[in-house]
Structure 1
Amino acid sequence: MTDLLVALRPLDATELDAFVELVISSYAGERASAVDARPPDAQRNARSQVEALLPQGLGTPDHHLYSVLEGNAVVGHLWIGITSVDGFRSAFIYDIHLREDARGRGLGRRVMVLAEEAACGLGARDIELHVFAQNTRARRLYESLGYRITSLSMRKRLG
Structure 2
Amino acid sequence: MTTVTVRAMTQDEYDDWQRDIAEAYAEEQVAAGRWSQDGAVQRARDENAELLPQGLRTPRMLVLRGVDASGEPVGRAWVGLDHPRGAPDVAFLYDIEILEPRRGNGFGRALLAAVEDVVRQAGVPALELNVFGPNHPAIALYDSAGYEVTTQQMRKAL
TM-score by length of 1: 0.89
Identity of aligned residues (%): 34
Once the two structures are TM-superposed, the CA of residue 75 in structure 1 deviates from its matched residue by 2.0
Q: Structure 1 regions of 5+ residues with no counterpart?
A: none
Distance in 1 (alpha carbons) for counterparts of 2:77 and 2:119: 12
Q: Which residue of 1 aligns with 2:117?
A: 117
Q: Which residue of 1 aligns with 2:75?
A: 76
| Counterpart secondary structure, 1:35 | coil
Letter in 2 for 1:69: V
Distance in 1 (alpha carbons) for counterparts of 2:132 and 2:52: 22
Alignment of 1:26-37 (within 5 A): 26-35=24-33, 37=35
2:5 and 2:114 in contact (8 A); partners too: yes
| Counterpart secondary structure, 2:123 | coil
Q: Which residue of 1 aligns with 2:8?
A: 10
Q: Is 1:138 the equivalent of 2:113?
A: no
Distance in 2 (alpha carbons) for counterparts of 1:75 and 1:107: 7
| Counterpart secondary structure, 1:138 | helix
Q: Which residue of 2 aligns with 1:58?
A: 56
Letter in 2 for 1:121: Q
Distance in 2 (alpha carbons) for counterparts of 1:110 and 1:60: 25
Once the two structures are TM-superposed, the CA of residue 156 in structure 1 deviates from its matched residue by 4.4
Distance in 2 (alpha carbons) for counterparts of 1:94 and 1:55: 15
Letter in 1 for 2:129: L
| Counterpart secondary structure, 2:38 | helix
Letter in 1 for 2:30: A
2:75 and 2:111 in contact (8 A); partners too: no
Distance in 2 (alpha carbons) for counterparts of 1:133 and 1:27: 14
Once the two structures are TM-superposed, the CA of residue 91 in structure 1 deviates from its matched residue by 1.2
Number of aligned residue pairs: 155
Distance in 1 (alpha carbons) for counterparts of 2:43 and 2:154: 19
The structure richer in strand per residue is 1
Once the two structures are TM-superposed, the CA of residue 26 in structure 1 deviates from its matched residue by 1.2
| Counterpart secondary structure, 2:32 | helix
Letter in 2 for 1:79: W
Q: Which residue of 1 aligns with 2:41?
A: 43
Distance in 1 (alpha carbons) for counterparts of 2:26 and 2:51: 15
Letter in 1 for 2:132: F
Letter in 1 for 2:43: N
Deviations 1:43-69 (A, max 9, x none): 132112111100100111110011111
Distance in 2 (alpha carbons) for counterparts of 1:156 and 1:98: 31
